[in-house]
Structure 1
Amino acid sequence: MQSSDTVVQAPPVRSVSYRYDLDGLRGIAIAFVVLFHVFVGRVSGGVDVFLLLSGYFFLGSQLRYARREDASPNPWWPLWRTIRRLYPGLLVVLGTTATVVMLGIPWMRSVELMDQFTASLLYYQNWTLASQDADYNVASGGVSPLQHLWSMAVQGQFYVMAIALAMVVLWARRAGVDLSRWVTGFLAVATVASFVYATWLHGEWQELNYYSTWSRMWQLTLGALLALHAHRVRVNPRLQELFIVVGLAMVLTTGLLLDGARLFPGPAALYPIGGAVLVILGGGQGRVAGWLAHRSMRWLGDIAYPLYLWHWPLLILSLIVLGLDEVPWWLGVAVVAVSLLLADVTHRFVEKPLRQHAPRPRAGERRVQEAIAQLRTSAVARARAVGAGVLALVMATLLILQGIWEVRLHLAGGLLLDATQYPGAAALTGAPVPDKKVRPDPELAGALISRIWTEKCISRFGDDPHVLPVDERGSDCVFGDPAATRDVYLVGGSHSEQWVIPLDVLGKEHGFRVIPLVRQSCPTFVEERDGLFEPDCALFNEQVIDRLAEARPELVISTTTRPFLESGDFQEGVPESYLTFWDFLAEERIPFVGLRDNPWKFLPDGSDESIPFCLRVAEDPAHCGVVEEDFYRPVDPAAAYLADIPTARAVDTSSWYCTDGFCPAVIGNILVYRDGNHLSLAYLNSLVPQVWAEIGEFL
């Protein structure tokens, strides 16, 4: 260790009075989150305020500690202190939720939910929800009971980064370099960069923007800047009181004026964040600040974290158990009351006993040895150790749950089934159907996806639209017979992508390669004429068109219809943009087979309804199918146009899914869908004969 005369002396650490009024503001922010979730069905802006205050309290305290002469350079201690603050309440809520789901609501069990338990435990739930394309939805029986934990993940990730920043400052000071003078500039740059990114991403991909740590970072780092410098702002006391009144009004009215799920954390989030900033700049002055610092408001701030943890799973599980689609007033009142009670109990008997109450360790302290000694002499210490051990067991059990699901998923296979026991599509043409359990298991179907996804052979949201995945991944993205000299190109979005399953089998049998040029939610066109598709989709299609013109494959396959969800039309149709692609293929004399889309199942509000989930809930599987005329028009809308192109064929696939005016969820003992509109791997595999009957003459 260097001698003391070589160490840069840190400036005196200014004592900043604790702001009890901000505890009250934190409590109000979370209370409004709960009330808006339960009674309004909108985002209140309270989470944005909560994140700002998290940055204010946490990073500010970490940096002040790092500047102390006696600060411990061991990063374990701030991490351990944070773990003891965050995990006890989280583990109690997650353990309770898992127990209710596994034992009382078996139809909720799914790979996606198991993934979310692990993601919530390890603080990356925001990225898991983004990867699952989970919009932030209002309360209903189809929403994850862990959806709300995305914000805890953002907060936890920030805490780790905050500790790392404080440790760097501390280590640098001990090495003779004072970095504290650069912290403000660093945080300011991070705040501006994150805000600019959130503003840009809001216009490009709001679903990701809502969950992204990098979009949310500006709210946390702005809070840290205020922790470091707000106490230096000097204004007239009356003006300070006005700041608090106006700021609190802005925080409280956010949910009434703005739809946060569609707007935050973009520029519109400046409204609630600006209100919270005004309260902070108010300096705790005046009657309103005194009310915020009142004992009852501070209690609400104390229980804010467990209140946030409890309210959402209570609400969602109550809706599911009671079979309700919306929240009646009496249930809302009950959920709020029980959430407050559980939050208070959790705070008193779980959080407080297990929280680290001792002062932050000083350099050279032997805390571990002291703790071991306390276990020998103190019954309270032993009780805390037992409680921590129980929670550690809960955490291990929850982590093992995902491992169990992964094993089940591996064993499920989901593709190759005994055709005599699982005839699938052959049942529609008379194949016998024995009495067998449905496969794949509806609990696992959503996670059984094709190699196009697992091998990253599909261009996803956010991927560079100028790049074709097959160019990056090479032979990993060539299906069928890689050694063949004939090529079939599969183009379009995810509804085209799924056809790689039968085409892969046929390519191996009949000697042709299958090349996917597909992008998520991006049908193929030359010119966008409908105003339905993203600019990135048009850029991706430029690469697809150029590749097709160069490769001139033996056959191109894609889908030809889709519902016009954007205008509220749930029946299939043919976008004008599709015609530009078909004309291009006709001019180039490239053969084309167009497959009519499979049925989609919708909820009354127009959102997708998961058919596997429906099967887990409904006593009558017939309820989970689709009435044919609800999706299909009497005649294939693409047939007439493609009939005039000699090198094209329109394939009416409706008979592959529907019979007697109904499209069932299960055909020939096989679950037809893996979600609300994509086909399961096993059912696609059962369609191999039908696909070959339509494309064989081209090959």
Structure 2
Amino acid sequence: MEESGPVHSGPAASSTVRRQDLDGLRGIAIALVVAFHVWAGRVSGGVDVFLVLSGFFFTGAVVRGVERRGVIAAKETARRTVRRLTPSLVVVLAAIVLATVILRPYTQLGETAAQTLASMFYVQNWYLATAELDYLAPDPSVSPLQHLWSMSVQGQFYVAILLVLAGWAWLRRRGRADRPGLLIALTALGLLSFWYATAGTAQHQAWTYYDSMARVWELLAGAALAVAAPWLRLPTRVRALAAVVGLAMVLTCGPLFDGANQFPGVAALWPVGAACLVIASGFGFADGPSAWPNRVLGGRICTELGTLAYPLYLWHWPILIFYLAESGRSHAGLVDGLVVIAISLVLAYATTRLIETPLRLPPRGRSHEGKQHRAAGVLVAATTVAVLVVTMGWQLVLAANPAVPPRELDAQRYPGATALLTGAEYSPEPMRPTVFEGGVDSPPPTTDGCITPSREVRVCTYGDPNAARSIAVVGGSHSEHWIPALEVLGAERGIRVISYLKEGCPVTLADQPSYAEWPFPECHEWSREVLDRLAADPPDWVLTLSTRYRQDGLGDEVPIEYLEVWSAMQERGLNVLALRDTPRLRRDGVLYRATDCLAHRGDPDSCGLDRASALAPADPALEPAAGFPNVHLLDLSDAVCRPQRCRVVEGNVLIYRDEHHLTASYARSLAPELGRQIGTITGWW
């Protein structure tokens, strides 16, 4: 979101004009970003337009500087860029940290501190990619810092392109490089990045969305246009057509594309191409009048909005997320959405007027402007120190007091599921795991690397490794969280538990299952190899899931893709233990963490949900499973939920470690009931 400046309009190096239409394009882009975030809950393509413009302005300014001076003015460029981007960012980060402390559960402070530091040091995109967070529609479960991934991508690009241009400047001084050579190099790098983005989007879009290498082609498209500007003298009619088509593409991107699930692959050519067309439509203004779209974009409304684009982008998302979190709503309506936008505009204007503008002006002694400059500088410096002290301090506190999940709980004091199933009395005890321990009370594959994030098939053994009886646990994390219960059974009953697990991947033979939010062929490929391995070395039983929650309704269901897997297993002679999935904590379609709810004045009952909203009255797998003699059903719903309510704590044991995964502690308390049902089916005991 680099500010605009003079842009070459002809071959003469000295011929420059200010592209007010591009200021206006930024205004239109930010309007679309805000509107689609607030009301549509999806990506508009506006951020992709910003990335193209940032590459265009930044690269153009540096290249022109090299041609004037012969060298990179690295310090000056860095100082200008930091002065432009950092003050507003620091102020918004401070506001987010303060709002989190005041308004949100204390269990969120650690995550907010970590993401604040990642945003301040421009690595937020990698933080999100590593955490494999999806760019979801805004709701209370989404981070108020999530939108800052794009700022991190830009910051990394600025450093990288400065290094590239420094090398070009060095070669240019020795007569070994010129603009055409630079253009070829940038184009080649852009094509390589586009190929990488296309391949990554098809394989693992959730990661690729935040990947700098997959995003850099969008910035390089603008950079290449900046380098090619002196030779792009387009006829008036061609410029007009480019302006009309480009603006139309910008306005229609959001409705036409589901950017959160399609970008930055082939679909991103639409917003990137749109921005490039509008940029190209301005080349040659000196030879004729600009087209009406350029005049509209260069008008006061669009350009004034463009002036606020950067701070408005920073403010609107956290304002929206905090509003949704405090109101308990899944989305904003017309009136409250307008209020969110109005507050964001006021804060953006104040940030521009009180922070950005004074700091861009040089201090002038005792003048009013000089006093404003010094006051803004002191405020930003103090805020920066405060943010760093608070976030780093909290991280140090957490590091010095790490949450350690309980390895084993006293069954008398912490009966867990046993109390729910038998009605046995027990004395109240402090909940274990605690709200801080809950998030790390995970099954062994999460910590020992036996659940793969990639295409690789990883096979691990738990329980009794020398046992003759064997159960293979196959699928994603909802299969994985039963491993602690199976470990107990394996040790007690002599069972070899073999894991075939992949993150976010129920076994499927479809490239894009009906329940998936984006194509995930890597899951399909992994599943086929797992089925082939199971057929080659068959266990006694294969344990996998039989149901899945309804994304757009109440209760649970059996996706058609699960039946395809059962058929494939039947063809391979595999006996299946099909386990009903556990409920997910949702209110009005919005997932929430049990630990956050408990830390935010909630109790085990209020933080739970009605059983009827999470589970169908009868196991929906009963009817379809009747057609598969190899499939035998397991249902432990009564060991997780009461007849009317699914609570988050039973028998003094926390059930959920997040929104929908069982804690290892509670899973271990499920071992007796799981063993009873398995024994009845298998006849092993």
Question: How does the TM-score come out when normalised to structure 2?
Answer: 0.82
The residue number in structure 1 matching 2:662 is: 679
* Distance across 1 between alignment mates of 2:329 and 2:524: 42
Query: What runs of 5+ residues in structure 2 fail to find an aligned partner?
Result: 1-10
The residue number in structure 2 matching 1:362 is: none
Corresponding residue to 1:423 among 415, 418, 424: 415
Aligned amino acid, residue 378 of structure 2: V
Give per-residue Cα distances to partners, 1:494-514, cap 9 Å, x unaligned: 221112223334545666654
State, as a whole percentage, how many aligned pairs show the same letter.
38
Residue 469 in 1 paired to residue 458 in 2? yes
The residue number in structure 2 matching 1:169 is: 168
Corresponding residue to 2:345 among 340, 343, 347: 340
Question: How does the TM-score come out when normalised to structure 1?
Answer: 0.81
| Paired residues of 1:443 and 1:613 also in contact (CA < 8 A) | no
* Distance across 2 between alignment mates of 1:517 and 1:92: 47
* Distance across 1 between alignment mates of 2:280 and 2:295: 15
Secondary structure at the aligned position of 2:402 is classed as helix
Corresponding residue to 2:563 among 563, 576, 600: 576
* Distance across 2 between alignment mates of 1:526 and 1:71: 57
Pair 1:341–1:133, CA change in 2 (3 A): same
| Paired residues of 2:97 and 2:112 also in contact (CA < 8 A) | no
Pair 1:449–1:491, CA change in 2 (3 A): same
Deviation larger for 120-129 or 483-492: 483-492
The offset of 1:405, in angstroms, is 7.1
Deviation larger for 107-116 or 134-143: 107-116
The residue number in structure 1 matching 2:475 is: 492
| Paired residues of 1:572 and 1:633 also in contact (CA < 8 A) | no
The offset of 1:54, in angstroms, is 0.5
The offset of 1:193, in angstroms, is 3.2
The residue number in structure 2 matching 1:368 is: none
The residue number in structure 2 matching 1:515 is: 498
* Distance across 2 between alignment mates of 1:217 and 1:167: 18
Secondary structure at the aligned position of 1:254 is classed as helix
The residue number in structure 1 matching 2:319 is: 314
Give per-residue Cα distances to partners, 1:67-98, cap 9 Å, x unaligned: 4545357x565445433332211111111111
The residue number in structure 2 matching 1:96 is: 95
The residue number in structure 2 matching 1:369 is: none
* Distance across 2 between alignment mates of 1:49 and 1:525: 36
Secondary structure at the aligned position of 1:449 is classed as coil
Q: How many residues align structurally? A: 655
Secondary structure at the aligned position of 1:211 is classed as coil
Residue 329 in 1 paired to residue 334 in 2? yes
The residue number in structure 2 matching 1:455 is: 448
| Paired residues of 2:655 and 2:662 also in contact (CA < 8 A) | yes
Pair 1:171–1:422, CA change in 2 (3 A): farther
The residue number in structure 1 matching 2:3 is: none
* Distance across 1 between alignment mates of 2:175 and 2:383: 42
Aligned amino acid, residue 639 of structure 2: W
| Paired residues of 1:48 and 1:273 also in contact (CA < 8 A) | yes
Deviation larger for 284-293 or 208-217: 284-293
Secondary structure at the aligned position of 1:123 is classed as coil
| Paired residues of 1:110 and 1:443 also in contact (CA < 8 A) | no
Pair 1:68–1:439, CA change in 2 (3 A): farther
Secondary structure at the aligned position of 1:684 is classed as helix
The residue number in structure 1 matching 2:239 is: 240
Residue 160 in 1 paired to residue 159 in 2? yes
Pair 1:76–1:424, CA change in 2 (3 A): farther
Pair 1:424–1:15, CA change in 2 (3 A): farther
| Paired residues of 1:611 and 1:673 also in contact (CA < 8 A) | yes
* Distance across 1 between alignment mates of 2:566 and 2:436: 39
Pair 1:63–1:72, CA change in 2 (3 A): closer
Aligned amino acid, residue 191 of structure 1: G
The offset of 1:26, in angstroms, is 1.3
Pair 1:633–1:81, CA change in 2 (3 A): same
The residue number in structure 1 matching 2:581 is: 597
The offset of 1:112, in angstroms, is 4.5
The offset of 1:63, in angstroms, is 3.1
In the TM superposition, 1:263-412 aligns within 5 A as 263-283=262-282, 285-286=289-290, 288-294=293-299, 297-355=302-360, 386-397=378-389, 399-400=391-392, 403-404=395-396, 406-407=398-399, 410-412=402-404
The residue number in structure 1 matching 2:62 is: 62
| Paired residues of 1:79 and 1:163 also in contact (CA < 8 A) | no
The offset of 1:340, in angstroms, is 1.9
* Distance across 1 between alignment mates of 2:94 and 2:510: 52
Aligned amino acid, residue 147 of structure 2: H
Give per-residue Cα distances to partners, 1:112-160, cap 9 Å, x unaligned: 5444333322323334334444443333333322222222222222222
Secondary structure at the aligned position of 1:389 is classed as helix
Aligned amino acid, residue 50 of structure 2: F
Secondary structure at the aligned position of 2:324 is classed as helix
Pair 1:36–1:409, CA change in 2 (3 A): farther
Corresponding residue to 1:504 among 457, 474, 487: 487
The offset of 1:258, in angstroms, is 4.1
Secondary structure at the aligned position of 1:468 is classed as coil
| Paired residues of 1:491 and 1:518 also in contact (CA < 8 A) | yes
| Paired residues of 1:651 and 1:694 also in contact (CA < 8 A) | yes
* Distance across 2 between alignment mates of 1:449 and 1:83: 41
Aligned amino acid, residue 407 of structure 1: A
| Paired residues of 2:186 and 2:220 also in contact (CA < 8 A) | yes
Aligned amino acid, residue 563 of structure 1: R
In the TM superposition, 1:200-279 aligns within 5 A as 200-237=199-236, 239-279=238-278
| Paired residues of 2:44 and 2:253 also in contact (CA < 8 A) | yes
The offset of 1:197, in angstroms, is 4.0
* Distance across 2 between alignment mates of 1:99 and 1:546: 53
* Distance across 2 between alignment mates of 1:166 and 1:152: 21
Aligned amino acid, residue 311 of structure 1: H
Deviation larger for 94-103 or 270-279: 270-279
Pair 1:104–1:495, CA change in 2 (3 A): closer
Secondary structure at the aligned position of 1:100 is classed as helix
Give per-residue Cα distances to partners, 1:473-501, cap 9 Å, x unaligned: xxxx4444667787543222222111222
* Distance across 1 between alignment mates of 2:393 and 2:441: 18
Secondary structure at the aligned position of 2:452 is classed as coil
* Distance across 2 between alignment mates of 1:394 and 1:552: 59
Aligned amino acid, residue 432 of structure 2: R
Pair 1:572–1:36, CA change in 2 (3 A): closer
The residue number in structure 2 matching 1:27 is: 27
Residue 659 in 1 paired to residue 642 in 2? yes
Pair 1:279–1:437, CA change in 2 (3 A): same
The residue number in structure 1 matching 2:52 is: 52
* Distance across 1 between alignment mates of 2:116 and 2:512: 43
| Paired residues of 1:526 and 1:584 also in contact (CA < 8 A) | no
Pair 1:344–1:468, CA change in 2 (3 A): same
In the TM superposition, 1:589-628 aligns within 5 A as 593-605=577-589, 608-616=591-599, 619=602, 621-628=604-611
Secondary structure at the aligned position of 1:516 is classed as strand
| Paired residues of 2:117 and 2:388 also in contact (CA < 8 A) | no
* Distance across 1 between alignment mates of 2:171 and 2:464: 59
Secondary structure at the aligned position of 1:178 is classed as coil
| Paired residues of 1:111 and 1:443 also in contact (CA < 8 A) | no
